[in-house]
Amino acid sequence: MTDLSPLPKPALGEPYLLTPGPLTTSEAVKQAMLRDWGSWDGDFRAMTAELRRRLCALLGSDAEAYDCVPLQGSGSYVVEAMLGSFVPWDGKVLVLANGAYGQRAADTLRVMGKAHTMLDKGDYAPPRGPEITRLLEADPEITHVFAVHCETSSGILNPIQEIADATYAAGRKLLIDSMSAFGAVPLDPREIQFEAVVSSANKCIEGVPGFGFVLARKTALEAAEGNSLSLSLDLHRQWAAMNKTGQWRFTPPTHVVAAFIEALRAHEAEGGVAARGARYSENRDVLVSGMRDLGFVTLLSDDWLSPIITTFFCPADPNFDFTKFYDAMKARGFILYPGKLTRAESFRIGHIGQVDAHVMRAVVHAVAEVLQEMGVQCAAPASESLAEQQAETV
């Protein structure tokens, strides 16, 4: 294990956010927000241009075929914008769902009135290539496949290469929600084909919340003209206006953009996607091995664990109470994340943001203390949770 010097503590009294965004940001990112910018001014236009250029560069050397369009709002706004802008009115989407964000994409299409069908794998089983191939063969009306890269509700890293290969072998187009993975998990269009991918400011780039962005083929952005029934969520309009004026169409979140540029510079200085992914992976490894030593069981087998966030089953011990556990962890400086499974009792610990292996060791230490305080003898989950886990063919 590499010996990292400890990251500075977040500002006095602030707990670490072990959540998948908003997350713990650096002092420099926070400092960057202490200035007001005029949205029409040349300085801010240069910041917007830098933001777009840096994000495109994260795709790798084939980046010229792609362009970046930032859009105001949280991540869901840009997912909605992607589905609304790239799927034509006579199109149909195959939504690959294995958690809340896949379900939300299907809801979004339903509200928009766009044709779609869903492959629902339940709480955490991954969608696989052969089943996607079968579904696409059976339904020639499907024009697009929607996939979630890291499904943050369980933490599963979906097999995006396999999904892209099956999609393009069948002559369809892929739209990716890489909200919680982009910037830490490579997505090189020379290897993984896709039309568009979305992410947001407050995930692996380690900015603060306030906007999302799409990276899309320029040909797809051109072809998107007239598809959107929303004015503010129309990515073609946003793109065309930004190219023409260098400005955002409507009031941009100026402070958030300033913070994000600081975060992008830090991302590059750290060593880009590879280094960011390596730090997060080490965070996960330290956390998971420490928690397993305490008797905890992860929802997913090692093959499917992401570097982003990990789900643990709650201990079956009757003395365990998640609310008390949460409060005691918060008192020690760590904000955890409740589970999002429909059946088994679980909780999640995120390992992205300004946290490193030292922080993760401190988390495990605090968990051990809290279990002792609560009188929990053993952190093993209920046998039903484990049986259910065996039943889902992961």
Ligand X SMILES: *Cc1c(COP(=O)(O)O)cnc(C)c1O
Residues in contact with ligand X, total (CB under 6 A)?
13
**From candidates 177, 234, 262, 317, binder to ligand X by CB under 6 A:** 177
Decide: is 75 part of the binding site for ligand X (CB under 6 A).
yes
CB nearer to ligand X: give 109 or 379.
109
Q: How far is CA 43 from CA 33, 49, 262, 327, in A?
A: 15, 10, 15, 44
Measure the CA–CA gap between 89 and 141, rounded to whole angstroms.
12
Decide: is 83 part of the binding site for ligand X (CB under 6 A).
no
Which listed range, 74-82, 162-170, 215-223, 297-305, lies at the site for ligand X (CB under 6 A)? 74-82
* Residue pair 96/142 in contact by the 8 Å Cβ criterion: no
Q: In which residue are the tokens 């380690």 written? A: 206
Decide: is 152 part of the binding site for ligand X (CB under 6 A).
yes
CB nearer to ligand X: give 6 or 122.
122
Q: Supply the DSSP string of 267-291, one letter for each residue.
A: HHHHTHHHHHHHHHHHHHHHHHHHH
User: Shortest approach of ligand X to residue 203 CB, angstroms?
Assistant: 6
Which value, in Å, is the radius of gyration of the alpha carbons in the chain? 21
Decide: is 74 part of the binding site for ligand X (CB under 6 A).
yes
Which listed range, 42-50, 173-181, 252-260, 355-363, lies at the site for ligand X (CB under 6 A)? 173-181
Measure the CA–CA gap between 43 and 37, rounded to whole angstroms.
8
CB nearer to ligand X: give 121 or 357.
121
Decide: is 96 part of the binding site for ligand X (CB under 6 A).
no
User: Shortest approach of ligand X to residue 101 CB, angstroms?
Assistant: 4
Q: Which residue is nearest to ligand X (CB)?
A: 75
Site pattern 251..280 for ligand X (x: CB under 6 A): ------------------------------
For residue 13, is it left (φ>0), alpha (ψ between -120 and 50) or beta?
A: left
Measure the CA–CA gap between 261 and 222, rounded to whole angstroms.
27
Which listed range, 5-13, 35-43, 176-184, 350-358, lies at the site for ligand X (CB under 6 A)? 176-184
Which listed range, 26-34, 159-167, 175-183, 185-193, lies at the site for ligand X (CB under 6 A)? 175-183
User: Shortest approach of ligand X to residue 256 CB, angstroms?
Assistant: 13
Measure the CA–CA gap between 174 and 193, rounded to whole angstroms.
7
CB nearer to ligand X: give 335 or 362.
335
284's tokens? 């996960």
User: Shortest approach of ligand X to residue 74 CB, angstroms?
Assistant: 3
Measure the CA–CA gap between 119 and 293, rounded to whole angstroms.
36
H or E element that contains 200: strand 196-200
CB nearer to ligand X: give 76 or 389.
76
Which listed range, 69-77, 138-146, 167-175, 276-284, lies at the site for ligand X (CB under 6 A)? 69-77
**3-class secondary structure, 357:** helix
The length of the chain in residues reads: 394
CB nearer to ligand X: give 353 or 381.
353
Decide: is 103 part of the binding site for ligand X (CB under 6 A).
no
**From candidates 156, 179, 185, 214, binder to ligand X by CB under 6 A:** 179
**Looking at beta carbons, which pairs linking 168-171 to residues 24 or more positions away fall under 8 Å?**
168/193, 169/133, 170/132, 170/133, 170/136, 170/137
H or E element that contains 215: strand 211-217
User: Shortest approach of ligand X to residue 134 CB, angstroms?
Assistant: 25
Site pattern 8..27 for ligand X (x: CB under 6 A): ------------xx------
CB nearer to ligand X: give 325 or 347.
347
Strand partners for 67: 216
Which listed range, 49-57, 73-81, 272-280, 371-379, lies at the site for ligand X (CB under 6 A)? 73-81
Q: Which of residues 219-238 bind ligand X (CB under 6 A)?
A: none
Report the half-sphere exposure of 27 (CA within 13 A, side-chain side): 6
Q: Which of residues 130-149 bind ligand X (CB under 6 A)?
A: 148
Strands 173-177 and 156-157: unpaired
Measure the CA–CA gap between 181 and 14, rounded to whole angstroms.
25
Binding site for ligand X (CB under 6 A): 20-21, 74-76, 79, 101, 148, 152, 177, 179-180, 200
